[in-house]
Amino acid sequence: MTKTPRRVAVVTGANRGLGKAIAHDLAAAGLHVVVTSRTEQAAQSAAEEFQREGLAASAHQLDITDPASVARTMADVGFTYGRLDVLVNNAAVAIDRGQLAAAADMEKVCATLNTNLMGAWRCCTAAIPEMKRNDYGRIVNVTTHMSTSANLGVGSVAYRTSKAALNALTRILATELQADNILVNAASPGKVDTRLAYGKADRQPSEATDTFVWLATLPDNGPSGQLFFDGKLLEW
């Protein structure tokens, strides 16, 4: 085990898109970032790119739909660095665009919930014990404006439902962990130009990271159990 004085962050789905931009900017803010991806090669490629910029980064294979992979990743990070301070649950799928609740493809629903809700939940339950060892933790769940009560419209029912459930999990965990100095929040990146984009994107991933970095580095008296967009509170 190599103890590091700097905070250590795990970002899921960090080999491309928003996850990669968040990971980069967390490293630029002085954290050691563990870049994760479903393949070791993809994670390593992104981590090496950061390293060439002089940023502290390493790679780890992680499949958030595989409980063993999740448990192994969080335990490896805790053992290797002596700490796990930040978890950004970014990895997600959007495979049911236009799908109606009354005629849903249940295989797509199950796959979406298993990734977007259960995958993030698995990561939380595996990371929290590592955070408690150092009495410090920040969990940031990447959600969407499409999951707020004002935007629960027609179409993409599995995606919307998975993220609405993730919002609920955010609040529940925040309440449970308030005595452990572990702050749990959710944030929407807006319409970002990624593979998951719905409609016309209005920003690049690098333009949507500020709120995520802010939430990942909150002071001990920072907010918890809240939903943000561009640093501003959103109505659930």
The CATH number covering residue 188 comes to: 3.40.50.720
Question: Is 117 domain-assigned?
Answer: yes
pLDDT over 70 percentage in the chain: 95
Question: Is 1 domain-assigned?
Answer: no
Query: Where are any strands of DSSP class E within 23-65?
Result: 32-37, 57-61
**More reliable by pLDDT, 148 or 106:** 106
Question: Is 99 domain-assigned?
Answer: yes
Question: Is 2 domain-assigned?
Answer: no
Residue matched to tokens 């739909």: 65
Among 9-18, 21-30, 120-129, 193-202, name the one with the lowest average pLDDT.
Answer: 193-202
Task: Report the alpha-carbon distance of residue 20 to residue 12 in Å, rounded.
Answer: 9
> What's the longest Cα–Cα distance across the chain?
53
**Residue 231, SS3 per DSSP:** coil
pLDDT at residue 198 is higher than 60: no
Dihedral sign (CA 156, 158, 163, 168)? positive
Which structural domain, as residue segments, surrounds residue 57?
8-233
Question: Is 160 domain-assigned?
Answer: yes
- Strands 8-11 and 182-187, bridge-based pairing: unpaired
pLDDT at 197: 59
Question: Is 3 domain-assigned?
Answer: no
Question: Is 198 domain-assigned?
Answer: yes
Q: Which residues are catalytic?
A: 159
Question: Is 141 domain-assigned?
Answer: yes
Q: Model's pTM, two decimal places?
A: 0.95
52-74 pLDDT tens trace: 999 999 999 999 999 999 999 99
pLDDT at 1: 62
Q: How many domains does the chain have?
A: 1
pLDDT at 195: 64
